[in-house]
Every structure is written in C-alpha cells, then in structure tokens.
Amino acid sequence: MTASQSFSTEQKFFDNRHFPRGFRRSGTFTITEADLLERHGQAMVALSNGTRPPQTDDEIHFVEFVQGKVEGCTPLERLWAKYLKASQGKRLITISGTPRGTNDDSDDNSSSDDLDD
C-alpha cells in the first residue's frame, strides 16, 4: 500500500475559510498538490487532531511528523507543512499617520494681532 492509498477517505477536503476559491485557484499549490489535498486532506486533519488513529506505518510516521518528533520526508508530509504555513495567513502591517508636507497645526492659533498685547 502506498502512502497516498493509506490516507484514503470518502470525503473531499476543502478549506473555505482560508482558501475560499479552492486550493487550485489559490496560487499557493500546484495542481497535483491541490488534488492531493482534496483527496487526502480529511485523513490528514483527522490524524493531526487525533480523531483517527493511524492504521499504517505511513500514517504513524505522519502523526510523529505532526507532533514534531520526526522531519517530514514524504510528499504528503511536506504538503501538509505547506498547507499549515499557507493557512496561517499573511501578517497584516498597517502604518498610520499624516502624510508629509501637511501642516495640521491646530494648536498654533496665534496671529500677529495677539502679539500687540
């Protein structure tokens, strides 16, 4: 049994929260990677969160990989790491302030008339 056969499920995997247009159209994954995620993602999620016990040596290795005990060496393990990194999202950095060249000095209410006192 190959690694991809051991990660079989009945349902396709979708992540509409992080990839609302699908894995193929996200620009993050190749077509092959998107197909693998759709086909085996449900099993990888279940193995990752412990709702499905590993049944093969490949699945046992995957669980050890998810737990950080071993390095990812199979294509599915590397794909899962890529998926997790991509699903964390990009950091949003905002910069606020006034543009240069604008003099919004509302505190400076003095005029030449005030100097005559």
Distance CA 62, CA 80 (A): 9
- pTM of the full predicted structure? 0.69
List the helix and strand counts (H, then E) for the chain: 4, 0
Distance CA 117, CA 115 (A): 6
Q: Check if the beta carbon of residue 72 is closer than 8 Å to that of residue 78.
A: yes
- What are 55-67's pLDDT values in tens digits? 999 999 999 999 9
Query: pLDDT value at position 8?
Result: 81
- What are 43-95's pLDDT values in tens digits? 999 999 999 999 999 999 999 999 999 998 999 999 999 999 998 866 556 67
What number is the average pLDDT over the span 11-21? 91
